[in-house]
Amino acid sequence: MSMQTNLSLSSQRTDNLAGIIDVPGDKSMSHRSLILGSLAIGTTKVTGLLEGADVLATADAMRALGVDITRHDDGTWVIVGQGLHGLVAPETALDLGNSGTGVRLLMGVVAGQAITATFTGDASLSVRPMARITDPLQQMGTHVASRDGGLLPVTITGQSEPMAISYESPVASAQIKSAILLAGLTARGDTEVIEPHASRDHTESMLRHFGATVEQTVRDDGTHHVQLHGGAQLIAADIAVPRDPSSAAFPMVAALLTKGSDITLPSIGMNPLRTGLITTLIEMGGDISILNPRDEGGEPVADLRVRHSDLHGINIPAERAASMIDEFPILSVAATQAYGTTIMNGVAELRVKETDRIKVMADGLIAAGAIVSYDDDTMTVTGGPIAGGMTVNSQHDHRIAMSFLTLGLISNAPVSVEGCETIHTSFPDFAKIMQNAGANIAETGS
């Protein structure tokens, strides 16, 4: 795969975004399609797969674990499943690049196989915490060796029958939950994960789609429990991946903020555990119509029509954070254009994403002239004019790059963003697609 390095883009004031914008497939579901298809018996066909760097890294890792995965010319991906015990030890380390989801879910997969694999990643992934995954896996009997403090490279030696555990996660994290459930697939008995709030449940839905028995319950104390019955084979089943609501977030906010805009985003995934941003923007006064709600391949989807709106600030409850965890950077851009103050509560997890997203967004927004403050778990933005005229670096974070390019569309002077090659992680054609809708985004210097 070739990818341009050191791509700098700059964006400037734009009005009248228009047309139909097709965003790529859902990143979370794309990773899971490749992983569960590999562990099933039979052949799984996947349509709508996100062909971004993160997902391609997971496909390469599954191939290194012995799975036959091919992309057909019509864009369909075909996975020849190896069954629950069919993976082989990779000859070299598995490099998951920038992908936290890929590396963490695959640690769970390897924990359930009698093989050893070493995991590596890029500069951003190499400083992200992995103990949150390896600690519960060790409780299941997995042998783990890692760099100081639980950082990559991590070497996992799994077992063909790990111990079934009940794990109470301190944070609502689909990556933690999914790694444990994937390891639990080959355990004898029921594996349980308990979360303080519900995180996205694509693993649970897709496991059921492949025939596994998974139960989700909410207890009186508000905790969310997921139980997987281990040992049952997964049976191949085709998957249609919906378009990613976390990618739709960028054109959605761009259209709300720019005068005269009116865009349509077809077939966006509307899983209720992913729609916190849409709820929030509507509460802020955003004109977002949810059209043709329907079920496609077992997941709810809808077309979204988004028009320029005058927004006002709101206080966003902490319980909603997990359902919009990847959308806070672009929401903080929207909040700069809302009348009054927007308070984002329960955002501590942003500090351990591809970057410390609270600090990186606050620093860049303040440099652009916005009014922003934050503490460990809260970020506050007060609306006002944006001067722009500055350069920020993505710090290997796709969502930081796209957020600041969106900010430039409403800034008085252009915003330049270095390190835009990282956008390829989740939204390969972002700049082109936004340009086609009328956005003033160009390569710096061109």
CB 225 within 8 A of CB 181: no
30 binds ligand S3P (CB under 6 A): no
101 binds ligand S3P (CB under 6 A): yes
Closest CA to 137 of 318, 331, 117: 117
Rounded distance between C-alpha atoms, residue 257 and residue 253, angstroms: 6
* Among the listed residues 7, 325, 401, 423, the single contact to ligand S3P using CB under 6 A: 325
DSSP string covering 67-89, please?
A: -EEEE-TTS-EEEEEE-TT----
Across the strands, what pairs with 194?
168, 225
326 binds ligand S3P (CB under 6 A): yes
174 binds ligand S3P (CB under 6 A): yes
Task: Give the SS3 label for residue 191.
Answer: strand
The CB density around residue 4, as the number of other CB atoms within 10 Å, is: 9
Task: Select from 17-25, 173-181, 255-263, 364-372 the region that touches ligand S3P (CB under 6 A).
Answer: 173-181
39/311 with CB nearer ligand S3P: 39
Task: Give the SS3 label for residue 121.
Answer: coil
Provide CB contacts within 8 A for 446, sequence distance 6+.
none
| Residue 351 marked in a binding site | no
Residue with tokens 């933690």: 176
10 binds ligand S3P (CB under 6 A): no
* Among the listed residues 14, 169, 199, 247, the single contact to ligand S3P using CB under 6 A: 199
Task: Give the SS3 label for residue 208.
Answer: helix
178 binds ligand S3P (CB under 6 A): yes
The CB density around residue 433, as the number of other CB atoms within 10 Å, is: 20
Q: How near is the Cβ of 127 to ligand S3P at its closest, in Å? A: 15
200/424 with CB nearer ligand S3P: 200
Task: Give the SS3 label for residue 415.
Answer: strand
Q: How near is the Cβ of 341 to ligand S3P at its closest, in Å? A: 25
* Among the listed residues 201, 204, 349, 421, the single contact to ligand S3P using CB under 6 A: 349
Helices (H) and strands (E) in the chain, counts: 12, 27
* Among the listed residues 11, 58, 82, 175, the single contact to ligand S3P using CB under 6 A: 175
CB 306 within 8 A of CB 261: yes
Q: Which helix (H) or strand (E) holds 331?
A: helix 328-335
| Residue 27 marked in a binding site | yes
95/397 with CB nearer ligand S3P: 397
326 is catalytic: yes
Q: How near is the Cβ of 438 to ligand S3P at its closest, in Å? A: 28
Closest CA to 233 of 35, 36, 61: 36
| Residue 173 marked in a binding site | yes
Provide CB contacts within 8 A for 77, sequence distance 6+.
33, 34, 45, 46, 47, 49, 59, 69, 70, 71
28 binds ligand S3P (CB under 6 A): yes
| Residue 356 marked in a binding site | no
Q: How near is the Cβ of 252 to ligand S3P at its closest, in Å? A: 17
Task: Give the SS3 label for residue 269.
Answer: strand
Backbone angles phi, psi at 434, to 5 degrees: -70, -40
109/410 with CB nearer ligand S3P: 109
Choosing from 220, 326, 377, 429, the catalytic residue is: 326
Q: How far is CA 101 from CA 23, 24, 80, 344, in A?
A: 20, 17, 22, 24
* Sign of the CA dihedral running 98, 365, 26, 164: positive
24/313 with CB nearer ligand S3P: 24
354/421 with CB nearer ligand S3P: 354
Q: How near is the Cβ of 4 to ligand S3P at its closest, in Å? A: 23
* Among the listed residues 33, 173, 271, 342, the single contact to ligand S3P using CB under 6 A: 173
| Residue 147 marked in a binding site | no
Q: How near is the Cβ of 326 to ligand S3P at its closest, in Å? A: 5
List residues with catalytic annotation: 326
Binding-site annotation, residues for phosphoenolpyruvate: 27, 100, 128, 175, 357, 399
Binding-site annotation, residues: 27-28, 32, 100, 128, 173, 175, 326, 353, 357, 399
Binding-site annotation, residues for 3-phosphoshikimate: 27-28, 32, 173, 175, 326, 353
Q: Which residues bind ligand S3P (CB under 6 A)?
A: 28, 101, 173-175, 178, 199-200, 325-326, 349
